[in-house]
Chain A
Amino acid sequence: QKEVEQDPGPLSVPEGAIVSLNCTYSNSAFQYFMWYRQYSRKGPELLMYTYSSGNKEDGRFTAQVDKSSKYISLFIRDSQPSDSATYLCAPLGDSNYQLIWGAGTKLIIKP
């Protein structure tokens, strides 16, 4: 079993829709959960992160962690074509500096 499972997609939705991106993980020791966005032919960039369970909101983006079920979510409201990218979830490993990467979900927002 992989440490982090993420559906690679692609996920295609119309502009303005609410998008839900999800990951599951196996290691209950993870405390920090990162979401990175990667545009085509670019390196990943940090979108947001959460600590432990709960929600964190940043503009149109909401990150949610449920440690009891080991489930991580990223919600995008009022999705825009510029949100089209690959979204990677990455819990911070036990070493506290090594990220454990999900496969990444390719998101396509259709105008």
Chain B
Amino acid sequence: SAVISQKPSRDICQRGTSLTIQCQVDSQVTMMFWYRQQPGQSLTLIATANQGSEATYESGFVIDKFPISRPNLTFSTLTVSNMSPEDSSIYLCSAENGAVGTEAFFGQGTRLTVV
């Protein structure tokens, strides 16, 4: 199993500012992902964080708005840039080892409110 520490757990930010969320895994993992989850809603994949290369973004998400870093096999960051109230959501980091059928582990999430 893998334990994921995600920081901060929550934040209230002013519109127009940026917030960087950190995700630390206690073991090396192949795949790391960033999701957004509105309260009471399902998970929407933002991007796959690739170690040593640019992240792979899903439709509707762009690097300028959600820059992602993954410098090694245990750590990734997601930045929410130039925030607006529409960015208020829960952001979740996930990790798995890429073999078919293996478990995806999740951090506790970052609850972001933009005012």
Residues of A within 8 A of B (CB): 6, 8, 32, 34, 36, 41-46, 49, 51, 88, 92, 96-99, 101-104, 106
Contact = CB atoms under 8 A, between A and B. Distances in A.
A106 B108 contact: no
Contacts of B107: 43
Q: Is the interface of B mostly helix, strand, loop or mixed?
A: strand
A98 B105 CA distance: 13
B101 A51 contact: yes
Nearest to B44: A101
Contacts of B101: 32, 49, 51, 92
B2 to A, nearest CB: 11
A44 B98 contact: no
The 10 closest A-B pairs by CB, nearest first: A43-B106, A46-B103, A103-B42, A96-B100, A101-B43, A101-B42, A32-B101, A97-B98, A104-B42, A44-B106
